[in-house]
Amino acid sequence: MPNGIAIDGKAEIWEFGSMKTTIDLPDSVFRRAKATAAVRGLSLKTFITEAVERQLGAEEKDWRTVLDHLPRVDKKTTEQIMCCVAEWDEIDLEFQKRQVEAEK
C-alpha cells in the first residue's frame, strides 16, 4: 500500500467482469427462456443478457430510424394528399356546423 493508498489488484473484474445477481421471474417465463435458449444453443445467461441488451437498445433508437422504414412519397403525391386532407377538413367542418344547428 504505497502512500496509504489501497490498490485493487483485480480492478479489471469490476469493469469487464460480470456481476452475479438474482432475478425473480415467473415460472412460466423462466421455463420459456430456458427452453428457447436451449433450442438456440445458448446458455441461459447469454440468452438473458442478449434479451436485456436488445431491450435497452430499443429504448435508445433514434425516432428517425422509424422513418427509414416508411415508403417514400414524391412532392406531387404529397401535395395531392394534402389537398385531399384540406377538402376533408372542409367537409368535416361543414358537417359539424350542421350538427350544431340541428341540435338547436
Question: Which tens digit of pLDDT belongs to each residue from 8-45?
Answer: 555 555 556 677 889 899 999 999 999 999 999 999 99
The answer to the question of residue 47 being in a domain is yes
Residues 63 and 24 in one domain: yes
The answer to the question of residue 3 being in a domain is no
Residues 66 and 77 in one domain: no
Q: What angle in degrees, to the nearest 10, is found between the helix axes of 44-60 and 27-39?
A: 100
User: Alpha-carbon distance 48 to 34, whole Å?
Assistant: 9
User: What is the percent of the chain with per-residue pLDDT over 90, rounded to a whole number?
Assistant: 52
The answer to the question of residue 29 being in a domain is yes
Range of the domain at 100: 72-104
Q: Work out how many domains the chain is built from and give that number.
A: 2
Its pTM surpasses 0.75: no
Of residues 40 and 57, the one with the higher pLDDT is 40
Q: Which three cell numbers stand for residue 56?
A: 435497452
User: Alpha-carbon distance 47 to 38, whole Å?
Assistant: 9
Residues 76 and 63 in one domain: no
Residues 54 and 81 in one domain: no
Q: 59 pLDDT exceeds 70? A: no
Residues 12 and 55 in one domain: yes
Residues 82 and 53 in one domain: no
